[in-house]
Structure 1
Amino acid sequence: MAEAYVTSDEHPACGICPSRRFPLGAFDVFERPSRDCPFNPADGHRYTTDGVPVCVHPEKVGIPAGRYKTDGLPVATKLALPDDVAELDSYLRDVMHSAAPGVLELLIEQAATEIPRNFPGVDVITTLRRALS
């Protein structure tokens, strides 16, 4: 079996989240609990009607909602940088620290591209170091 998407005990994903058992792409992520992913009282997990494991907290696993296993969707991460440069460090810290390793690299690449566009004159390396420390 491939390594789970979330491997750190420090990650905000729930202890019962499929991200702790399956690699990225082997489970779906829904915006919230729904009838499309009922709770299974036998094992405490949520599944689609086709038996695909479902996470219902995209903000905790650090990836947007999507039917990654069901539809074979690739992970598309998108930074939504704040309008105010004063909020940049805390925003990046929250996003980077809640991201799993497979997504972190994509987020860093996006930040390196987007920060100079949105905030000319901001030192990208220094900003990312503060966010990641």
Structure 2
Amino acid sequence: MADAFVTGDVHHRACGICPSRRFPLGEFDVFERPTRECPFNPADGHRYTADGTPVCVHPAKVGLPAARYKSEGSPLKVAVCLPADASDVVPYLHDLLYGVAPVLLNDLIGQAQVEIRQAFPDLDPITTLRRALS
């Protein structure tokens, strides 16, 4: 069996019963919040869709955008949307990069470098990212 998405990290924000602690990325869905589409199963304490797909209902806690990764094969994507004011770039990137799942970091850092160069030519992308990550 493949390793769970969240492994061995007792300080991770994912709930103790989250499917991210039992299944690898892509083997569970992430919903924005609890809904009737993924009712709570009192027999085992988990949520499932009608087809039996395990569901996490706290995207911010697992650092993944809400999507139907298992049930619909949704691709894993997060986009960098820089703020309009250059002074807000470092705080925005800090929150984005520290709140996202580690599996998404490389892609987001690459996106951020491109976006910073395009939106703010006077900012050095490497310096800006270092400040955001420190």
Q: Same fold (TM over 0.5)?
A: yes
Percent identity, aligned pairs only?
63
**Separation (CA, whole Å) in 2 of partners of 1:36 and 1:98:** 26
Larger Rg: 2
Query: Are 2:79 and 1:64 aligned?
Result: no
**Separation (CA, whole Å) in 2 of partners of 1:118 and 1:12:** 33
**Separation (CA, whole Å) in 1 of partners of 2:98 and 2:19:** 19
**Partner residue in 1 for 2:36:** 35
**Separation (CA, whole Å) in 1 of partners of 2:120 and 2:12:** 29
Q: Say what the alpha-carbon RMSD is for the aligned residues.
A: 1.7
Q: Structure 2: which 5+ residue stretches go unaligned?
A: none
**Separation (CA, whole Å) in 1 of partners of 2:114 and 2:41:** 42
Shift in Å at residue 13 of structure 1? 2.8
Aligned to 1:70, what secondary structure does the other structure show?
Answer: coil
**Partner residue in 2 for 1:118:** 119
TM-score, normalising length: structure 1: 0.88
**Separation (CA, whole Å) in 2 of partners of 1:29 and 1:37:** 10
**Separation (CA, whole Å) in 1 of partners of 2:81 and 2:59:** 15
**Partner residue in 1 for 2:18:** 17
Shift in Å at residue 53 of structure 1? 0.9
User: Could you tell which deviates more after superposition, 12-21 or 50-59?
Assistant: 12-21
TM-score, normalising length: structure 2: 0.87
Between Structure 1 and Structure 2, how many residues are aligned?
133
Q: Which residue type is aligned with residue 27 of structure 2?
A: A
**Partner residue in 1 for 2:131:** 130
Query: Are 2:3 and 1:3 aligned?
Result: yes
User: Could you tell which deviates more after superposition, 112-121 or 3-12?
Assistant: 3-12
**Separation (CA, whole Å) in 2 of partners of 1:6 and 1:85:** 34
Q: Which residue type is aligned with residue 59 of structure 2?
A: P
**Partner residue in 2 for 1:49:** 50
